[in-house]
C-alpha cells in the first residue's frame, strides 16, 4: 500500500497539491503508522512524536481503546447528519456541558477549528448586532473568511484582499525585551483605546488562552481577567479559542481554568476527536438564542465522531491525563532549563504545551535556519519536534499526553547533544 517512498511523495505533492500545502522538515519523513506516542516511517524507523499532529492526538496514535469504539460505530451507523435523531450527539453535548466552565451549556458541532471559530464569530455578531472584532497579534484562528481575518500571524493570512475590514489588532502582552508588567500595560492600554474608539461597533474579542502557532505564548497573570472586565464594560463578547489548548493539554481541562475566566463562547476542535474530525463552539443559553435559524453541519458530531469523542473524554478521565500533562510538563520544563544552552533564548508554556525559543549566536545563521537544523537532527535521532513562532524559531513540545517519562529523558539527552554540537559548530565557523 505504501510503496512509492518519500521522494516520489514529494514529487506528487508538488504536481498535484496546491503549493500552499505546508510541510515541516527539509526532508520530511514518510509516516505509515502510529501507536500511542510513537510514529513509524516506511523503513520501520520509530519516532517519538513530540508534536501530536499539532496538539491533536492527546490520547495517542491509534489508541486501541479509542479506535475500537470508532470501528464499532462505523459498522453499525456511520452517518445521518442532524436531520434524524441519534443518541451520541446529545450524550456528547451533555458531557461537554458538565466539563465546560461556568454556564456554557449549549454546543454547536462542526468539523474543523476554522469552521467552529467562524461559527463563534458569526454568533457574536448575531447576538450583539455589531460587526467588528478585536484580536491579538500572534494569534491563529483558521483559514475561513472571519477566522483568517482575526488571525494575527502574517504568514497565515493569505492576502489582505481576502480579509474582513472591521478587525482591530492589539499587541499580545509578550515582549522578551521588556518586563512582563510593562508589556501587559501596553496591550491593555491599546485594548482600552480600541474599545473607547470603536466599542460601539465591536461584537467580540477572540484569543487563544495560550498562543500555539504564535510561539507558545502565555500571557502575564491577570491579563485575561482584566481583558474580560474591559470587554464587559463595552458589551463586547469574549471568544476563547481552545483548539490547541483544550482537553487537558496544559494541565487543566481547559486552559482558561488557569486564569479563572469563563468566556462567553468557547471553541474547541483537534483533541476532542483524537484524529476523527470534530469541533465545537459552546455558549450560554442566552447567547445561544441568537443562533436561531436552522443551521446544519453535515458532518458535525456524526455518530462516528461523537462516539469517538465520548470515548476520548472517558479515556482522559480514566487515565488522569490532565494531571499527567501537568506533572510531565513541569518535569520537562525544568529539564529543558537545565540544558542551559546559549542557543536557548527562552522556555515557556505550561503542561505539555511548551516552547523553546532558539537564538542565533552570530550572524552566520538565522535563528529560523538553526531551528530547522535542530529539527532535522532530532528527527534523525528519532524525535519529531514541532516548530512555530512569528520568526519560526520556537521548538514546540506538544506530545500525546500518554507519553512516558523515559521518552522525555531520551529526547532530552538527544537535544542536549544536538545543541552542544550546534554550539561547537557555530563557535568554529
Residues 107-126 that bind ligand PMP (CB under 6 A): 112-114, 117
Buried b (16+ CB within 10 A) or exposed e, 77-108: eeeeebeeebebbeebbebbeeebbeebbbbb
* CB 55, min distance to ligand PMP, A: 7
Q: Identify the CA nearest to 264 among candidates 289, 292, 237.
A: 237
Q: Which is nearer to ligand PMP, 212 or 351 (CB)?
A: 212
Stretch that binds ligand PMP, among 6-14, 197-205, 238-246, 302-310 (CB under 6 A): 238-246
End-to-end CA distance of the chain: 45
> 3-state class of 92 per DSSP?
helix
Q: Which is nearer to ligand PMP, 241 or 307 (CB)?
A: 241
Looking at 89, 121, 124, 140, which residue binds ligand PMP (CB under 6 A)?
140
Where does this chain touch ligand PMP (CB under 6 A) — which range of 207-215, 254-262, 397-405, 418-426?
207-215
Min dist CB 151 to ligand PMP, Å, is: 8
Segment interacting with ligand PMP, rule: CB under 6 A, options 64-72, 164-172, 236-244, 318-326: 236-244
Distance CA 86, CA 192 (A): 46
Instruction: Out of 244, 274, 308, 371, name the contact with ligand PMP by CB under 6 A.
Output: 244
- 308: contact with ligand PMP by CB under 6 A: no
Which range in 139-147, 324-332, 362-370, 420-428 contacts ligand PMP by CB under 6 A? Answer: 139-147
Characterise 177 by phi-psi region: left (phi > 0), alpha (psi -120 to 50), beta (else).
alpha
Q: How far is the CB of 337 from ligand PMP (least distance, A)?
A: 26
And the C-alpha cell for 407?
A: 521518552
Count the neighbouring beta carbons within 10 Å of the beta carbon of residue 64: 11
Of 136, 207, 269, 358, the one binding ligand PMP (CB under 6 A) is: 269
- Best CA proximity match to 115, nearest among 297, 325, 386, 320: 297
Distance from C-alpha of 119 to C-alpha of 358, rounded to nearest angstrom: 36
Q: Considering only the C-alpha atoms of the chain, give the largest distance between any 2 of them, rounded to a whole number of Å.
A: 69
Beta pairing, strands 210-211 & 217-218: antiparallel
> Least distance (Å) from ligand PMP to the CB of residue 256?
13
Stretch touching ligand PMP by CB under 6 A, among 66-74, 91-99, 137-145, 405-413: 137-145
Helices (H), 283-380: 285-288, 303-318, 321-339, 367-380
Least distance (Å) from ligand PMP to the CB of residue 200?
A: 28
The residues of the shown chain that bind ligand PMP, judged by CB under 6 A, are 54, 112-114, 117, 140-142, 208, 212-213, 241, 243-244, 269
Amino acid at each position: 500500500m505504501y510503496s512509492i517512498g518519500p521522494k516520489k511523495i514529494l514529487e506528487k505533492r508538488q504536481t498535484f497539491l496546491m503549493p500552499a500545502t505546508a510541510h515541516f522538515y527539509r526532508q520530511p519523513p514518510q509516516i505509515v503508522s502510529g501507536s500511542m506516542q510513537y510514529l513509524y516511517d516506511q523503513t520501520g524507523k520509530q519516532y517519538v512524536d513530540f508534536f501530536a499532529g499539532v496538539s491533536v492526538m492527546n490520547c495517542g496514535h491509534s489508541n486501541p481503546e479509542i479506535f475500537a469504539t470508532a470501528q464499532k460505530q462505523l459498522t453499525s451507523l456511520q452517518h445521518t447528519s442532524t436531520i434524524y435523531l441519534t443518541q451520541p450527539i446529545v450524550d456528547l453535548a451533555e458531557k461537554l456541558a458538565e466539563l465546560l466552565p461556568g454556564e456554557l451549556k449549549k454546543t454547536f458541532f462542526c468539523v474543523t477549528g476554522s469552521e467552529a471559530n467562524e461559527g463563534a464569530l458569526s454568533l457574536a455578531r448575531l447576538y450583539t448586532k455589531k460587526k467588528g472584532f478585536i484580536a491579538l497579534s500572534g494569534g491563529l484562528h483558521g483559514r475561513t473568511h472571519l477566522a483568517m481575518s482575526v488571525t494575527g500571524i502574517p504568514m497565515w493570512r493569505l492576502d489582505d484582499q481576502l480579509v474582513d475590514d472591521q478587525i482591530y489588532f492589539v499587541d499580545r502582552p509578550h515582549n522578551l525585551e521588556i518586563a512582563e508588567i510593562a508589556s501587559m500595560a501596553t496591550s491593555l492600554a491599546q485594548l482600552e483605546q480600541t474599545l473607547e474608539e470603536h466599542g460601539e461597533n465591536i461584537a467580540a474579542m477572540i484569543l487563544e488562552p495560550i498562543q500555539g502557532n504564535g510561539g507558545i505564548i502565555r500571557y502575564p497573570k491577570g491579563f485575561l481577567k482584566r481583558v474580560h472586565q474591559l470587554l464587559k464594560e463595552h458589551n463586547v463578547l469574549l471568544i476563547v479559542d481552545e483548539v490547541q489548548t483544550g482537553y487537558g493539554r496544559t494541565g487543566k481541562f481547559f486552559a482558561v481554568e488557569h486564569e479563572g475566566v469563563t468566556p462567553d463562547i468557547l471553541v474547541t476542535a483537534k483533541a476532542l476527536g483524537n484524529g476523527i474530525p470534530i469541533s465545537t463552539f459552546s455558549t450560554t443559553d442566552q447567547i445561544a438564542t441568537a443562533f436561531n435559524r436552522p443551521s446544519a453541519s453535515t458532518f458535525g458530531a456524526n455518530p462516528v465522531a461523537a462516539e469517538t469523542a465520548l470515548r476520548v473524554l472517558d479515556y482522559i478521565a480514566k487515565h488522569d491525563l490532565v494531571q499527567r500533562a501537568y506533572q510531565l510538563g513541569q518535569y520537562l520544563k525544568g529539564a529543558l532549563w537545565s540544558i542551559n544552552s546559549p542557543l536557548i533564548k527562552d522556555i515557556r508554556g505550561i503542561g505539555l504545551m511548551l516552547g523553546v525559543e532558539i537564538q542565533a549566536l552570530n550572524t552566520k545563521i538565522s535563528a529560523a535556519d538553526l531551528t530547522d537544523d535542530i529539527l532535522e537532527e532530532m528527527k534523525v535521532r528519532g524525535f519529531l519536534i514541532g516548530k512555530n513562532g512569528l520568526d519560526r524559531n520556537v521548538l514546540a513540545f506538544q506530545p500525546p499526553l500518554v507519553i512516558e517519562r523515559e521518552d522525555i529523558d531520551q529526547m532530552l539527552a538527544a537535544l542536549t547533544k544536538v545543541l552542544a554540537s550546534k554550539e561547537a559548530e557555530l563557535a568554529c565557523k
